[in-house]
């Protein structure tokens, strides 16, 4: 079994920052769920009659899908990268699976919003656009690295990976930070 390739430091820091922000948001979700329950996510009796309710449901549905995605994505990548397969086949499989998982992620967000009858919030829309760009760049890498055998976009791909992790972290942290600030302002009055 081969070793995982080394990551660039900035990419590693951005990925661990994303994991840390998701962990912090999961703790925040536990407090929100304790206050409001989690029925507001799936129960149609919880009406989405205000912009705040729409943002709340849309954000937590999107976060739940991202949480599930991050739980399995690293393990799938590790399994593919360390698999005892032909080098080019392994490279093609890596990018193909990455494109497929991101597209399934996007379809899950859309389906869960449709099932709940909830429009996308601004943060969900931004996350959706970021992941569309990830799928596009991964497909380009599949063609370039998997079939044309060129690494011409590899430096840009690594930087984009780090930037996307930072953007997702900031977007995910913005809603809980805004909510905590508003509750602080209400308490201090």
Going from the C-alpha of 116 to that of each of 82, 104, 105, the distances in angstroms are 39, 18, 17
Number of domains in the chain: 1
How far is residue 87's CA from residue 36's CA, in Å, rounded to a whole number? 50
Going from the C-alpha of 86 to that of each of 78, 90, 149, 158, 160, the distances in angstroms are 16, 6, 14, 23, 27
Q: 0.85 cut: is pTM over it?
A: yes
Identify whether 2 is part of a domain.
Answer: no
Q: Is the pLDDT of residue 1 over 50?
A: no
pLDDT confidence tier of residue 6, bands split at 50, 70 and 90 = low
Identify whether 158 is part of a domain.
Answer: yes
- Residue 98 contacts residue 58 (beta carbons within 8 Å): no
How far is residue 168's CA from residue 123's CA, in Å, rounded to a whole number? 9
Q: Is the pLDDT of residue 140 over 90?
A: yes
Q: Degrees (nearest 5) of the Cα angle 179, 181, 183?
A: 70
How far is residue 62's CA from residue 68's CA, in Å, rounded to a whole number? 10
Domain of 23? 9-188
Identify whether 129 is part of a domain.
Answer: yes
- For residue 6, the SS3 value is coil
pLDDT confidence tier of residue 107, bands split at 50, 70 and 90 = very high
Identify whether 13 is part of a domain.
Answer: yes
């Amino acid at each position: 079994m081969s070793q995982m390739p080394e990551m660039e430091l900035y990419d590693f820091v951005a990925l661990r920052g994303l994991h840390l922000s998701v962990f912090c948001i999961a703790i925040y979700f536990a407090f929100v769920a304790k206050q409001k329950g989690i029925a507001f996510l799936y129960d149609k009796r919880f009406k989405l009659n205000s912009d705040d309710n729409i943002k709340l449901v849309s954000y937590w549905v999107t976060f739940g899908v991202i949480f599930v995605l991050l739980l399995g994505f690293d393990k799938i990548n590790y399994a593919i990268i360390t698999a005892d397969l032909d080098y080019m086949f392994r490279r093609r499989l890596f990018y193909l699976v990455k494109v497929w998982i991101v597209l399934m992620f996007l379809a899950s967000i859309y389906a869960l919003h449709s099932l709940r009858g909830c429009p996308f919030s601004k943060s969900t829309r931004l996350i959706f656009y970021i992941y569309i760009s990830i799928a596009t760049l991964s497909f380009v890498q599949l063609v370039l690295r998997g079939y044309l055998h060129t690494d011409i976009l590899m430096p840009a791909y690594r930087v984009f990976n780090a930037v996307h992790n930072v953007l997702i972290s900031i977007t995910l942290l913005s809603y809980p930070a805004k909510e905590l600030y508003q509750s602080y302002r209400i308490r201090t009055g």
